[in-house]
Amino acid sequence: MSLAVIGLNHRTAEVGLLERMTVPPAGLPKALHTLADREHLAEVVLLSTCNRTEIYARATRFHPSVDDARHFLAELAGVDPDTLAESLYTYHDDAAVAHLFGVAAGLDSMIIGEGEVLGQVREAWRAAEQEGTAGPMLSRTFRHAVHVGKRARHETGIARHVVSVSSAAVALAAERLGSLSGRRVLVLGAGGVGEGMAVALAGAGVGEVVVANRSRSRARELARRVEGRAISLDEIPDELVTADVLLASTGAPGVLIERSDIEVVMERRGGRALLVVDVAVPRDVDPGVGQVFGVTLLDIEALRALGEQSLQQRRAEVGKVRVIITDELDRFRLEHSAREVAPLVAALRARADAIQAGELERRSGRLAALDPEARELLEATTRAVVNKLLHEPTVRVKDAAGSDQGEVLADALADLFALDEPE
């Protein structure tokens, strides 16, 4: 069995396709079990964020597992699997592990080095464990990936002065308006990104922060933290009449603010312009809102340019993180190989012990004439011969674990002694 990752991200797919691929937290259990029921996916973790949807799987067969994952994603997005293939990337074994390590370290994010993705990786793993779709292989891999993400941020400057998606949304608004000082801002969403936006606004000197969320209690809690005000979703149109900026990022499966809603709002604003920054995937705001006179709409695409600027500022740190990833990949490979070699060595010793015991049993009649002391000496001598014969090959296999030579020796050992190789 091998590790495989099949997915698409902000580099390979347009926002429209990404948002159709997004699996909200509430839909994650069903999606995980649907994937786990596929013939060639033995273990599954599904990582779905605003920037990516990726399936990590312990595959019984690599190419059929890719087809299983591709068809699942095609059904999710309602597109033809062959058309979707153009936007998908696939990795297996070492390349799949290296990819996950890079994701956890923030190298594959739209905003290089951002910290939110590490939490998203951890949550995807925990959700799969809770649903029973992540077994020993994926759990070990994701645990190691979280360690890599932490190490990258502690030992390099990849996260120094980093702009997260939430703070990037605030930065975009400030850049477009010149300043947010004294402005009235409506934040739609009280989840991770919404919380980040509200906190960033509180430090930007805005005049007032208003929080709208499906759960009124969460909106109140966040508003209290930033000394703002909470409203319900139904109150959004009235609030937008006097707001300067709308920042949106919820986990809703579809559009919450239609073009017709904003057209009515703009009629009531008396010609005052409105800035809308929608970083949700799927979108919270109808793209047609950008065509309404007086409205400026920025979406996740606008963050790409900011991400490129962020990369330029931290390019020197990227190399340092890649060194860490290479180091951790070597350690992961060594641990994984050693874990695979151990059952093989145990099987070899069990086979030898069984042969020794069987041969003594076959000759038990002829050995019955021996006194107990002589019988014990004979058994000890044959065990010593077995141990001495097995010592050198087992030591060499263990010492070479994690290398190409180690794989050759392990395969030879299994073949020569007709041992069942571990999965």
Q: Please spell the DSSP secondary structure of 75-140, one letter per residue.
A: HHHTS-HHHHGGG-EEEETHHHHHHHHHHHHTTTSSSTT-SHHHHHHHHHHHHHHHHT---HHHHH
Identify the band that residue 253 occupies on the pLDDT scale cut at 50, 70 and 90: confident
Which candidate in 4, 41, 46, 50 is catalytic?
50
In this structure, the number of other CB atoms found within 10 A of the CB of residue 199 comes to: 17
φ and ψ at 65, to 5 degrees?
Answer: -65, -35
Mean pLDDT check: name the lowest of 37-46, 90-99, 347-356: 347-356
pLDDT-derived band at 422, boundaries 50, 70, 90: very low
pLDDT of residue 12: 92
Alpha carbon distance 172, 182 (integer Å): 16
- Give residue 306's pLDDT: 67
Query: Which band of pLDDT confidence, cut at 50, 70 and 90, is reported for residue 266?
Result: very high
**Average model confidence (pLDDT) for the chain?**
87
Q: Which domains does the chain have, with CATH numbers?
A: 2-161 (3.30.460.30), 165-305 (3.40.50.720), 336-416 (no CATH)
Residue 39's alpha-carbon distances to 57, 130, 133, 255, in angstroms, are 12, 21, 13, 35
pLDDT tens by residue, 177-213: 998 989 999 999 998 888 889 988 887 789 999 999 9
pLDDT at res. 161: 65
pLDDT for the residue 311: 66
Per-residue pLDDT at 331 exceeds 80: yes
Give residue-wise pLDDT tens across range 140-154: 999 999 999 999 999
Q: Is the pLDDT of residue 79 over 50?
A: yes
> Which has more pLDDT, 404 or 371?
371
Rounded Cα–Cα distance for residues 272 and 265 (Å): 10
Task: Yes or no: say if 283 and 251 are a contact pair by the CB < 8 Å rule.
Answer: no
Query: What's the half-sphere exposure (Cβ side, CA atoms, 13 Å) at 85?
Result: 8
CA distances from 134 to 21, 139, 190, 230 (A): 21, 6, 29, 39
Contact 127, 32 (CB under 8 A): yes
Could you report the per-residue pLDDT of 112-143, keeping only the tens digit for each?
Answer: 888 788 888 999 999 999 999 999 899 999 99
To the nearest whole percent, how much of the chain has pLDDT over 70? 93
Q: Find tokens 């999710």 and name the residue.
A: 76
Mean pLDDT over residues 340-364, rounded? 80
**pLDDT range class, residue 307, cuts 50, 70, 90:** low
Q: Which phi and psi angles does 281 have, rounded to 5°? A: -135, 110
Q: What pLDDT score was predicted for residue 309?
A: 66
Q: Establish how many alpha carbons lie within 13 A of residue 222's alpha carbon, considering only the half-sphere containing its beta carbon.
A: 30
Known catalytic residue: 209?
A: no
State residue 299's pLDDT score: 86
Instruction: Report CA Rg, the chain.
Output: 29
Comparison of pLDDT for 280 and 396, the residue scoring more = 280
pLDDT band at 375 (very low <50, low <70, confident <90, very high): confident
Highest averaged pLDDT of the listed ranges 322-326, 348-352, 384-388: 322-326
Spatial distance between the Cα atoms of 82 and 74, rounded to a whole number of angstroms: 9
Confidence of residue 3 (pLDDT cuts 50, 70, 90): very high
Query: Residue range 18-22: average pLDDT?
Result: 86
- Structure-model confidence comparison of residues 113 and 311, the more confident one: 113
Q: pLDDT category, 386, cuts 50, 70, 90? A: confident
pTM: 0.67
Distance CA 258, CA 265 (A): 11
